[in-house]
Amino acid sequence: MIAEFVTVLGIIPTGLVAFYVWLLQSRKGTLPITTTDCAYDRNKYGQILNWDKYCLYIHGNPTLIFSGEFHYWRLPDRSRWENILKKYRAGGFNCIRIYFHWGFHNPDEGIYKFDDNRDVDYLLNLCEKLGLYVLAAPGPYICTETQAGGFPYWLAAKDLKIRHMNFTGFKKYDKNFAEYEKEWFEVILPIIARHQITEKSDGCVIALQIENKLFEKYRKIPFGLHDEMRFLCKVARDCGITVPLFTNDNNESGSFVAKPEYDINPSNNFFNRKSFGLDLYGFDKYLLFVPSDSSVLFYFNIERDPKKWKPWETKDVVKALDNIEKVVRSFGHDAAKSPIFIPELQGGWYTSYKSDHTFDDVYNYYGDRFTRIVYDSVLAQGCTMLSIYMTYGGTNWGTLGDIDGYTSYDYSACIREFGYMSARLRNLRLGFLFTRSFSDVFAKTERVKKNPNITASIRGVFNLQRRAIIDSGGQGNAVVFTFLRNFSKTKNSQFQLFVNYMEAQGDTRSFVMQCYLSYKSSFIALGNYITSTGLKLIFSSVPIHLRILHPPSENDTGREIWIVPVNNIGEFAFEGEIDVDGNLRSSIKKIGHSINIVSFSGGIGFARIKHAGDSKDLYILALDSDSLGTLHAAFDEPHWAQACNRSFTYSPSIVSWGTQNVYFDLENNIVETEYGEDEKEITILSLRKPSDHIRINSNLAYPLPFIYKKKLVVGDKSSAVYTTPELINWSTRVTDFSDFEWQPIDLKNGGAIENNYTSGHVLYRTQFSTVKTDNKIKLVVNMRHRCTIFVNGKFAGGHTTFNKNLFFPGAKNGPELFTSLGGNKYDITAFINNNEENNTVVILVDNFGISRQSVIYNDVRNPRGLISAKISGLQHGTKFQWEICGVDVRNLEIPFTTSGIPDEHDEIGWIESNISINEYGVNPNEGIRWWRFKFKHPVDSKYKEIIKVPLRLVLFGAFTSYIFLNGILIGRYYGNGDCSQHDFYLMDGLLNFNDENQIILMIYSWEQVFSKDIIVEVRGWEIDEVNKSGNVIRIPKDADDSDNDLKSWIIMREKIKLY
């Protein structure tokens, strides 16, 4: 008996191994498409675009790719695209990644739309105009917290394996589904192909992403289908895509790494099936999540109150980021030969329903230095291609957001939803400026693995060093970059750095330098660098934010300029005798034969440093924190320089500070600037002297021949702007459910997806007669996600079924295993008519969104709408026929633009009202009441090009509302606590300047809401400009704006023709 038991135990491991081998090999598929078949043609296009393990090469120039995510479909007003993309350029980005939303362009089968805010050809032309590279990501699956993960609604309703998902955790290739994917690619990819840099001299697309997080293995278990990736890559090539292909692994797991050497000996043998890989290996990095909206599967004992959140742990950053290079290179094959590439690098986080926090709380949780720390940390791992997700989040206008994302998609991103460039962006930009201005040596580096020459006096400050493999200054001295990151447990901001250096005489010296770096901050320190003027910098413990090179000319010896912060602690160590002058107070300390350590004090100003007796100058400009927060630089890119016949240089041609947003139009020599009321002048640093007509002045702090100052004039008109417009012309009406066209329905097939009522509400009705009875009459309703019940025209109850836990009723992610548990019971006895009178029950069901089939989940068909409804206590044999009505989204231009209430655009029944909802309140027994009002834009139309005032609709009160701005559904409000959003951005491009603007509110409630508890107002954005967070500062309801010193954020615009 024991022998048999031992035998069985021996068979189990063998069986598991055999199953694993079967699973692994079966995932590799059988389609006759190889990695080589779909590989980038380097022989044909390599002179335009190429790469090695360090970086991309564009026209032979090593190029860093600093990209930001941009979702055009989250900006309903196309007129705002250009302004936002200019802010990407102003923020230091040279690239954007774009997810192209299949469902946004494909409202019904066979119908594709590319007009207005779906005109992606216009968008790509705009990127070319602005000099932005593009990482194009057409899906087909895009995730992005949008409905159905970007798949069209009509597709989700078909009997297909969406994403080839057979069931959660297991895929099976579906040829029919693949054909639909092919159709989408054959529509979208030819548009993208026209804009490839390999096909167009001034094209913008540098790479194409296939799918999203389609990993080979999930927690080491084979999952992804190689045939799925093969098929999509082959279709992409057949559609004219010639740039490199990549995908984004869920993390650094080694999915779909190209192994072209395996294609040499093809085989049909099951046990010798070959894997498939793409040109570039990319992986996403999300490392820290807000406590009440994390990536955990179950949310028991989660702290919901943002005031009680504990600060994020530095050890989590270390664990997530500090082993990237080793892991990625360990995959071998082409992962060891291509740049370290992160297509999605965390830049914030989303906020879902049933959360107590807002995006302002999310911003506060991460802080304004988080993205900069993450950026510096991945650069320390050799990353030279990255895209920040999100850079500008935008708005889930209409019902674009899925169950994980309500109206705002602010994401606490670098650029806030209403366009404010936050301190997070300003700190990140300083990182961009440093790496881009030194990109000639930064693009190709190796990690210093042994004996770094820098150590720190406290632990948790020194990260690592990287050494350039390109020599600097022709002196045979490789530049060394030291990555400093203050994760010290002591949280000390001031510490010492110990430097080991071999002098020219051959003596090794160890010396101490002082450094200041606040806790949870980082910077990259420069060392072993020879300036263009011949100075040897041994090491700088002061952050050098920007390098500007002015080459020598016939009458000018040339100069190099560094921009640094005011720093009374940090120091510069140079080799050789030096002379220092300028208006900064300097101190020089000599060590050994030839080491001179310089420190500065005295605030803002400049210093000039040169070798004793030399005429070539290194200028150091010390700027205060406010100036550094507005530091901008105009960098060119090799591709755009060649397309426009400009000579390319890594150094910026123009630099400015003093205004919060600057876009440099290099073709027309124009500086476009946006500034606030407190910003009175702009400082411009330029090798060429600006024209006299712009009325420049000398800068007293920096009295140098290449620095100019100009007063700004548009701000004088801002006092005429009143940012709380009056709401006028109120009118109202009530929905009559009996006017709708009801269709009989079997509730087994009565869901939102099956009936194409996938945007907003679905309405259900049943009618029956009763006789007098002593029984309690009860209604049990199971639905997703919110129901409101009316019995004979009276409100009878409502509830929400939504859960952040996996498998539970209303689960936000993953399949529901306990669907039947999502019901609620209502006693409707008091509402029933007796004596054989007819009774009508109407159930209004609001759908938060269609799940997005993410990761390994098969949840796109999770139930929506009414699942079951049972009435008990009536006379035996009472029959019920349920009916349904709503808005079929297939008939809409854009399938996310309806509340689902069929009369939402009716003009009949409106009655003028001499009171507003603020005075009237909300009565739940009235069902759906519509309110509309008008207001005038606070900016006179003659100033609309030079003054910008973002507006918001502020809502408070325990009611539900769908919000329409000038006829377009822009948001959803849930005042009962299902959603924490109270401020709704009124998109600039949807507002009228000459005509009045109209807002319509569809309103109902689960309780009586009195006027004293309601706020409905339009106003500007009163925000935290002291800390530059962009967070809203809430003004009390009864406060008088005339007595309030807090001002709304107002932007002035001015164009300066430089030359």
User: How are strands ordered across the β-sheet holding 454-456?
Assistant: 454-456, 494-502, 508-516
Whole-number pLDDT of residue 722: 82
DSSP class per residue in 162-188: GGGEEETTEE---HHHHHHHHHHHHHH
In whole angstroms, what is the distance from residue 428 CA to residue 440 CA? 20
876: Cβ contacts below 8 Å, ≥ 6 apart: none
Whole-number pLDDT of residue 718: 63
Please give the helix or strand (H or E) that residue 5 lies within, else none: helix 2-27
CB 757 within 8 Å of CB 888: yes
SS (H, E, C) 695-758: CEECCCCCCCCCEEEEECCHHHHHHHCCCCCCCEEEEEEECCHHHCCCEECCHHHCECCCCCCC
Q: In a 3-state reduction of DSSP, which class is residue 626?
A: helix
In whole angstroms, what is the distance from residue 1020 CA to residue 1048 CA? 5
The mean pLDDT of 797-806, rounded to a whole number, is 93
In whole angstroms, what is the distance from residue 384 CA to residue 339 CA? 6
Whole-number pLDDT of residue 447: 97
In whole angstroms, what is the distance from residue 103 CA to residue 106 CA? 5
Query: Model confidence at 265, in pLDDT bands (50, 70, 90)?
Result: confident
Q: Is the pLDDT of residue 717 over 70?
A: no
Whole-number pLDDT of residue 4: 61
Q: What tokens appear for 6 in the block?
A: 């031992």
The mean pLDDT of 793-798, rounded to a whole number, is 98
Query: Model confidence at 218, in pLDDT bands (50, 70, 90)?
Result: confident
Please give the helix or strand (H or E) that residue 388 lies within, else none: strand 383-389
The mean pLDDT of 798-827, rounded to a whole number, is 92
In whole angstroms, what is the distance from residue 684 CA to residue 699 CA? 10
Whole-number pLDDT of residue 12: 74
Q: Is the pLDDT of residue 1 over 70?
A: no
Whole-number pLDDT of residue 370: 98
Half-sphere exposure of 34 (CA within 13 A, CB side): 14
CB 597 within 8 Å of CB 569: no
> In this structure, how many other beta carbons lie within 10 angstroms of the beta carbon of residue 837?
11
Half-sphere exposure of 2 (CA within 13 A, CB side): 0
Q: Percent of the chain having pLDDT more than 70?
A: 96
Average pLDDT along the chain:
93
In whole angstroms, what is the distance from residue 350 CA to residue 406 CA? 9
Q: What tokens appear for 955 in the block?
A: 């809502």
Q: Is the pLDDT of residue 221 over 90?
A: no
Whole-number pLDDT of residue 504: 78
CB 140 within 8 Å of CB 151: yes
The pLDDT tens digits for 517-542 are 999 999 999 999 999 999 999 999 99
User: How are strands ordered across the β-sheet holding 911-912?
Assistant: 911-912, 728-734, 929-935, 997-1004, 960-965, 968-974
DSSP class per residue in 424-470: HHHHHHHHHHHHHHTHHHHSSEEE--S--SEEESSTTSEEEEEEEEE
> In this structure, how many other beta carbons lie within 10 angstroms of the beta carbon of residue 377?
25
Whole-number pLDDT of residue 201: 95
Residue with more model confidence, 552 or 446: 446
Q: Which class in CATH covers the domain with range 736-891?
A: mainly beta
Handedness of CA 611, 615, 618, 624 (dihedral sign): positive
CB 494 within 8 Å of CB 514: yes
The pLDDT tens digits for 337-364 are 999 999 999 999 999 999 999 999 999 9
Q: Is the pLDDT of residue 786 over 90?
A: yes
Domain 451-661 CATH assignment equals 2.70.98 = no
Query: Model confidence at 24, in pLDDT bands (50, 70, 90)?
Result: confident
pTM (two decimals): 0.96
Residue with more model confidence, 718 or 8: 718
Q: Is the pLDDT of residue 559 over 60?
A: yes
Q: In a 3-state reduction of DSSP, which class is residue 43?
A: helix
The mean pLDDT of 534-557, rounded to a whole number, is 93
Q: In a 3-state reduction of DSSP, which class is residue 597?
A: strand
The pLDDT tens digits for 169-178 are 999 999 999 9
Phi, psi (degrees; rounded to nearest 5) at 7:
-65, -45
Q: What tokens appear for 1011 in the block?
A: 């006027």
Query: What are the start-end ranges of the H helices in 545-596?
Result: none
Phi, psi (degrees; rounded to nearest 5) at 867:
-90, -45
Strands 383-389 and 340-346: parallel
Query: What are the start-end ranges of the H helices in 58-132?
Result: 81-90, 102-105, 120-130
Q: Percent of the chain having pLDDT more than 90?
A: 81
DSSP summary character for residue 73: G
Query: Model confidence at 471, in pLDDT bands (50, 70, 90)?
Result: low
- The strand pairing partners of 536, in sequence order, are 530, 575
1037: Cβ contacts below 8 Å, ≥ 6 apart: 956, 1015
In whole angstroms, what is the distance from residue 46 CA to residue 91 CA? 30
The distance between the two most distant Cα atoms of the chain, rounded to a whole number of Å, is 111
Whole-number pLDDT of residue 9: 59
Whole-number pLDDT of residue 475: 42
Q: Considering only 110-114, 194-198, 295-299, 403-407, which range has the smallest mean pLDDT? A: 295-299
Whole-number pLDDT of residue 220: 83
Whole-number pLDDT of residue 836: 76
Whole-number pLDDT of residue 785: 95
Whole-number pLDDT of residue 1040: 64
The pLDDT tens digits for 725-784 are 999 999 999 999 999 999 999 998 888 899 999 999 999 999 998 877 888 999 999 999
- Tokens 């500070």 map to which residue? 657
Select 31-417's CATH number: 3.20.20.140, 3.20.20.80, 1.10.3720.10, 3.40.47.10. 3.20.20.80
CB 1021 within 8 Å of CB 948: no
CB 796 within 8 Å of CB 824: no
Nearest 5°: the CA angle 778, 783, 786 is: 100
In whole angstroms, what is the distance from residue 767 CA to residue 746 CA? 15
Burial class (CB in 10 A: 0-12, 13-18, 19+), 46: middle
Residue with more model confidence, 696 or 564: 564
Query: Model confidence at 6, in pLDDT bands (50, 70, 90)?
Result: low
910-1021 — its CATH code? 2.60.120.260
The pLDDT tens digits for 639-669 are 988 888 888 899 999 999 999 999 999 889 9
In whole angstroms, what is the distance from residue 765 CA to residue 760 CA? 17
Nearest 5°: the CA angle 953, 954, 958 is: 125
Amino acid, single-letter form, for residue 959: F
Strands 681-686 and 707-711: antiparallel
Q: Is the pLDDT of residue 416 over 70?
A: yes
Handedness of CA 144, 180, 124, 213 (dihedral sign): positive
Q: What tokens appear for 643 in the block?
A: 């397309």
Half-sphere exposure of 373 (CA within 13 A, CB side): 28
Strands 508-516 and 494-502: antiparallel
Q: Considering only 40-44, 500-504, 1024-1028, which range has the smallest mean pLDDT? A: 500-504
Please give the helix or strand (H or E) that residue 379 lies within, else none: helix 370-380
Whole-number pLDDT of residue 142: 98
Query: Model confidence at 60, in pLDDT bands (50, 70, 90)?
Result: very high
Q: Is the pLDDT of residue 278 over 50?
A: yes
DSSP class per residue in 812-872: SSS-BS-GGGGEEEEE-GGG---TT-EEEEEEEEE--------TT---TT---EEEEEEEE
Amino acid, single-letter form, for residue 233: C
DSSP summary character for residue 85: H
**Exposed e or buried b for every residue in 638-657, given b needs 16+ CB within 10 A?**
bbbbbbeeeeeebbbbbbbb
Strands 786-791 and 838-846: antiparallel
Q: In a 3-state reduction of DSSP, which class is residue 891?
A: helix
Burial class (CB in 10 A: 0-12, 13-18, 19+), 156: buried
> In this structure, how many other beta carbons lie within 10 angstroms of the beta carbon of residue 637?
19
